[in-house]
Structure 1
Amino acid sequence: MIAPAAAFLAAGSGATPIAQDIVEPVVAQAEACCGMEIVAAGLTGAATLHKAASTGEPGQPLQALAASHWRVAADRAARVALPVGVAPESGLQVKTILAARAVSAAFPEISSIGGVRPDALRWHPNGLAIDVMIPNYSSAEGIALGNEIVAFVLKNAERFDLQDAIWRGVYFTPGGAKAGGYGHYDHVHITTKGGGYPTGSEIYLR
């Protein structure tokens, strides 16, 4: 999502597939969480605003107020920006980067996230998908962690422009889930709709 200008001034493999009754608890685990968004990093117009604020021309108080708002917006963006996570971001599209950074920030126990790689399907090669590798994925703790990550991305589906997530034989979408034969027992596969390739001017916000 590109924030409005008013706000920032231009700114697997496995055994038996999981039964359908496992799907509901996973989705139900989604808790209220920070929203995520992408804004342009340029925040252009700062110099113009500062110059206008110091001219002494009529309307100066309003222009000074605008400059002040710009500084507040810039400071806020710096404080809430998501840092680069553990996923290699080269070749990823912006919504996929946003999802990868958000998962890294929310789940510091995750030490490996796969990104772009050769594949017969287009998702990974085109920067639309990541694989969140789950430590001790077959243990109760590992399964619970994978469930939490699925719930997290579903909770933020609109922000991430989520297409799907796959975990332990279940195919999850914002519209529902289907169990059976989907693999992905050692990682959570997350696919976004991309949003285009980054230009280098993006700030990924919490």
Structure 2
Amino acid sequence: MVLAALLAAADVFFATAGDVHPFTTAAAAKTVIGDGAPFNLEIVGAASNIRDKGSPDGQPVASRYHTRSRFLPVGVAPEQGLQVRTILAARSISAAFPQIHEIGGVRPDPLPWHPLGLALDVMIPDPGSAQGIALGDAIVKYVLVNANRFGIQDAIWRGVYYTPTGAQTARYGHFDHVHVTTTGGGYPKGGETYLAD
């Protein structure tokens, strides 16, 4: 009796809930795109007639949009033994100042900064010339502006000792390179990502 009641309820459910209308054929889909060419397409290269209004000489340009990788490539400094903030400073200096071809890092020294990977020596080409002095000044300014990012402790250039809080004359020399000391941040463990500012 219980089984008969359940079967009767199931019959009612399927009879009323099912689709009782016969199948009809669907209307044919309307064509959205015709067989003809939808557009007059022209591929324009960089040497076309398009001129960039912002270009001072009106020369053709390939694109108004440029992408720059945020990842800093390895710079000119040997990174073996450098700490992470020192590596970031070295890579950033290399990227910002392509005229720098030599940056020293870890080396024996009675003071701890170079042996511990906390210091860089940014060698200035033609350091006694007006251009060399200006380049050294620009590098000092760059590291001090980025002091928080690089963990800058100090910089020394042409007898001046610079810190993020000010400068003072010193007897440290450094007339052929800018010495940069960071707070280190620990040694790399692998997989670090060094990003541009």
Name whichever of 176-185 and 166-175 sits farther off. Answer: 176-185
Residue of 86, 100, 103 corresponding to 2:90: 100
Which residue of 2 is the match for residue 203 of structure 1?
193
- Mapped partners of 2:161, 2:111: distance in 1: 16
- Mapped partners of 1:165, 1:79: distance in 2: 28
RMSD of the TM alignment (CA)? 1.0
With normalisation by structure 2, the TM-score equals 0.65
Which residue of 2 is the match for residue 124 of structure 1?
114
- Mapped partners of 1:188, 1:176: distance in 2: 16
The reply on whether 1:149 has 2:139 as its aligned counterpart is yes
The reply on whether 1:114 has 2:127 as its aligned counterpart is no
Q: CA deviation at 1:201?
A: 1.1
Which residue of 1 is the match for residue 166 of structure 2?
176
Deviation per residue, 1:63-108 (Å, 9 max, x gap): xxxxxxxxxxxxxxx9310000000000000000000000000000
With normalisation by structure 1, the TM-score equals 0.62
User: SS state of the match for residue 69, structure 2?
Assistant: helix
Structure 1: gaps (5+ residues): 1-77
* Runs of 4+ with >6 A deviation: none
Q: CA deviation at 1:180?
A: 2.9
- Mapped partners of 1:95, 1:133: distance in 2: 19
Greater RCO, CA 8 A, separation 6+: 1
- Report 1:67-78 matches (<5 A): none
Q: CA deviation at 1:181?
A: 1.1
The reply on whether 1:188 has 2:178 as its aligned counterpart is yes
Percent of pairs identical after alignment?
69
- Mapped partners of 2:172, 2:107: distance in 1: 19
Which residue of 2 is the match for residue 83 of structure 1?
73
More helix by share: 1
- Mapped partners of 1:182, 1:195: distance in 2: 25
Deviation per residue, 1:84-135 (Å, 9 max, x gap): 0000000000000000000000000000000000000000000000000000
- Mapped partners of 1:93, 1:159: distance in 2: 14
Which residue of 2 is the match for residue 164 of structure 1?
154
